[in-house]
Amino acid sequence: MTFARGFPSFLPVFHLWSIIYKVCLCQTEESVTDYSLVTFDYSDFPQPCDKDHNQQFRLWFMSPFFSAISCTGLLGNLLVILTFVYFNRLKTMTDVYLLNLAFADLLFALLLPFWAASYVADWPLGVAMCKTMHTVSKVTSYSSMFLLCLISVDRYFAIAKAVSARRLRSRTVFVSKVSSVIVWITALISSIPEMKYTSVTNNICTPFTSLSDPLRVGIQTSQIVLAFALPLLVMSFCYSKIVQTLCQTQNFERNKAVKVILVVVVVFVVCQVPYNLALFWATVFAANGGTSDCSYENNLVYVTDVTQCVAFLRCALNPFVYAFVGVKFRHDLLRLMRKLGCVSQERFLRRNIPGALDTDTTTTFSL
């Protein structure tokens, strides 16, 4: 009887809670349904720029181009190194600088296949190899430019300041070796940013996260100043003074020397000026935070890629410009080829150049 009397008093409370539960359930289902129908407008968000055409260009143009440069650079610089080592031709400052230049260009040529692979596919070799590639390439790039400066300075003193150069002739080789060590150390210090910041981002080996990365501004600015502007100023001063001095002489060798200097200057300008102008504009582009114009961004990538290919030619052209045009080096190269059986005795005698063995100024400025 007690249970029968208590049950009717409990029923209204239960009924009230059931009504509250149903109301909450309906509101929850209605809210879920409403949210599922909401659409968002993504038009205000920046869309990633499509780089498929740039990747295709790099695949069919840059990879074969880098391979050709690598093969030519390896062959030319190996010949320079073998000739200097075999005949122990380290008697002048220019000889020491040319040997170091050949080593730098040889290392750079060895890295070009890795550069080509990093452009056309995901980077498969890990962070350590990625850092090594970028660091060594920067070290060789800086050292090559610094060595070209030293070669121009040495030729300036040997030709434009011949009297004062003779006084220091006994110490020139020692000075050249010390200065070469300083060049490599300076190049290594200048490459610290690549050592520190290079990583594999989105399966791409790069020290930057995007074209508008603020880090890009600092690294590219230092590269323009140290690896282009400074060498250009030094070489312009030295070679202009050398030409001025040679024009005051009246002999047949003057015309040959002036031609070689023109070749040196033209090769440097053609290879380095377009790339550094593109690099400068890319630096300005990054400093301004990039752009929303995808076509403009892609065109900038095209220009930078093409001019970079031309700049990379230096590792293949330097042996021909700075070594093969020298009378002394060509004579030593023919001797080496004769000993290896690649050149006959008759051809060697026909191409032999008398008096080319002991001249110190023919390495760079004689044809």
| 46 in a structural domain | no
What confidence category does residue 282 fall into, taking pLDDT thresholds of 50, 70 and 90?
A: confident
Q: Please name the residue ranges forming H helices in 207-326.
A: 214-224, 230-246, 252-287, 294-312, 314-319
- DSSP string of 302-321, one letter each residue: HHHHHHHHHHHTHHHHHHII
Task: Using the predicted structure, report yes or no on whether residue 94 has a pLDDT greater than 90.
Answer: no
| 236 in a structural domain | yes
Residue 40 neighbours by CB under 8 Å, 6+ apart: none
| 346 in a structural domain | no
What confidence category does residue 181 fall into, taking pLDDT thresholds of 50, 70 and 90?
A: very high
Task: Using the predicted structure, report yes or no on whether residue 197 has a pLDDT greater than 60.
Answer: yes
Task: Using the predicted structure, report yes or no on whether residue 290 has a pLDDT greater than 60.
Answer: yes
Neighbours of 152 (CB within 10 A): 25
Task: Using the predicted structure, report yes or no on whether residue 283 has a pLDDT greater than 80.
Answer: yes
pLDDT of residue 145: 93
Task: Using the predicted structure, report yes or no on whether residue 351 has a pLDDT greater than 70.
Answer: no
| 10 in a structural domain | no
Task: Using the predicted structure, report yes or no on whether residue 46 has a pLDDT greater than 70.
Answer: no
| 45 in a structural domain | no
Task: Using the predicted structure, report yes or no on whether residue 21 has a pLDDT greater than 80.
Answer: no
Higher per-residue pLDDT: 6 or 176: 176
Quote the mean pLDDT of the chain.
77
- pLDDT, tens digit, 9 for 90 and up, residues 217-261: 888 888 899 999 999 999 999 999 988 888 887 665 666 677 777
- pLDDT, tens digit, 9 for 90 and up, residues 316-333: 998 888 777 767 777 777
Higher per-residue pLDDT: 366 or 90: 90
- pLDDT, tens digit, 9 for 90 and up, residues 109-143: 999 988 887 776 778 888 898 899 999 999 999 99
Higher per-residue pLDDT: 198 or 332: 198
| 265 in a structural domain | yes
Q: Rounded to whole angstroms, how far apart are CA atoms 143 and 228?
A: 12
* Amino acid, res. 95: D
Q: Rounded to whole angstroms, how far apart are CA atoms 177 and 151?
A: 13
CATH of the domain at 154: 1.20.1070.10
Tally of domains within the chain = 1
Task: Using the predicted structure, report yes or no on whether residue 34 has a pLDDT greater than 80.
Answer: no
Higher per-residue pLDDT: 231 or 32: 231
Q: Rounded to whole angstroms, how far apart are CA atoms 229 and 231?
A: 6
Q: For 349-357, what is the mean pLDDT? A: 52
| 23 in a structural domain | no
- Cβ 209 vs Cβ 201: under 8 Å: yes
Nearest alpha carbon to residue 324 among 140, 60, 98, 150: 98
| 109 in a structural domain | yes
Range of the domain at 293: 52-325
